[in-house]
Amino acid sequence: MTQTAHKKKFKICLVSISLAKGGAERSVAMLSQMLSSDGHQVHIVVLNNEIDFKYSGTLFNLGALKPKKDHFLARLTRFNKLRKYLKSQAFDVVIDHRPKNEFFRELFYATYIYKNLSTVYVVHSSNKQEYFTNKVLKMAAIYNNTLATVTVSKYIEQHIAKTSGVNNCHTIHNAYDPAWQQTSTQNTLPFDKYVLSYGRLHDGIKDYSFLIHSFNASELWRDGVFLVIMGDGPDKKMLQDLATSMPCNTQIVFLPFTKEPFGIIKNARCVTLTSKYEGFPMVLVESLSLGVPVVSLDIVSGPSEIMQDNHNGLLLKERNIAKFADALGVICRDEVLYLKLKSQTQGSVLQFSMQEISQKWNQLLHHVIR
**What is residue 21's predicted lDDT score, i.e. its pLDDT?**
83
Please give the average per-residue pLDDT across 100-120, as a whole number. 98
- Rounded to whole angstroms, the Cα distance separating 119 from 105 reads 16
Which 8-state DSSP code applies to residue 111? Answer: I
2 within some domain: no
Q: Where are the beta strands (DSSP E) in 107-225?
A: 119-123, 148-151, 169-171, 194-198
Same domain, 112 and 94: yes
Confirm if 270 and 196 have CB atoms less than 8 A apart.
yes
227 within some domain: yes
Q: For residue 234, which phi and psi values (nearest 5 degrees)?
A: -65, -20
User: How many independent structural domains does the chain possess?
Assistant: 2
Is the pLDDT confidence value at 123 over 80?
yes
Same domain, 134 and 239: no
- Rounded to whole angstroms, the Cα distance separating 155 from 222 reads 39
Here the contacts of 218-221 (C-beta below 8 Å, separation 24 or greater) are 218/325, 218/326, 218/328, 218/329, 218/332, 219/248, 219/325, 219/329, 220/195, 220/251, 220/328, 220/329, 220/332, 221/247, 221/248, 221/250, 221/251, 221/252
CA 317 to chain centroid: 22
Residue 259: pLDDT band (50, 70, 90) is confident
3 within some domain: no
Burial-class residue 46 by CB neighbours within 10 Å (0-12, 13-18, 19+). Answer: buried
Same domain, 198 and 267: yes
Burial-class residue 5 by CB neighbours within 10 Å (0-12, 13-18, 19+). Answer: exposed
Is the pLDDT confidence value at 4 over 70?
no
260 within some domain: yes
Confirm if 170 and 151 have CB atoms less than 8 A apart.
yes
Same domain, 204 and 279: yes
- Rounded to whole angstroms, the Cα distance separating 142 from 103 reads 10
1 within some domain: no
Confirm if 27 and 124 have CB atoms less than 8 A apart.
yes
Same domain, 164 and 214: no
316 within some domain: yes
% of the chain surpassing 70 pLDDT:
98
Burial-class residue 120 by CB neighbours within 10 Å (0-12, 13-18, 19+). Answer: buried
Same domain, 26 and 98: yes
- Choose the weakest-confidence range: 4-8, 126-130, 312-316, 350-354: 4-8
214 within some domain: yes
Domain of 98: which CATH number? 3.40.50.2000
- Rounded to whole angstroms, the Cα distance separating 20 from 62 reads 15
Burial-class residue 327 by CB neighbours within 10 Å (0-12, 13-18, 19+). Answer: buried
Cα–Cα distance list, 220 to 114, 134, 275, 325 (Å):
53, 44, 21, 9
- Rounded to whole angstroms, the Cα distance separating 239 from 337 reads 31
Residue 2: pLDDT band (50, 70, 90) is very low
Longest dimension (CA), the chain: 63
Same domain, 333 and 194: yes
Confirm if 150 and 123 have CB atoms less than 8 A apart.
yes
Same domain, 104 and 216: no
Highest mean pLDDT among 173-187, 257-271, 283-297: 283-297
Residue 6: pLDDT band (50, 70, 90) is low
**What is residue 81's predicted lDDT score, i.e. its pLDDT?**
97
Nearest in space to 28 (alpha carbons), one of 252, 367, 357: 357
Same domain, 347 and 218: yes
Confirm if 174 and 251 have CB atoms less than 8 A apart.
no
339 within some domain: yes
State the residue range of the domain holding 317.
178-351
Same domain, 257 and 134: no
Same domain, 194 and 124: no
Same domain, 99 and 233: no
**pTM surpassing 0.75?**
yes
Handedness of CA 200, 205, 209, 214 (dihedral sign): negative
- Rounded to whole angstroms, the Cα distance separating 246 from 252 reads 9
**What is residue 182's predicted lDDT score, i.e. its pLDDT?**
83
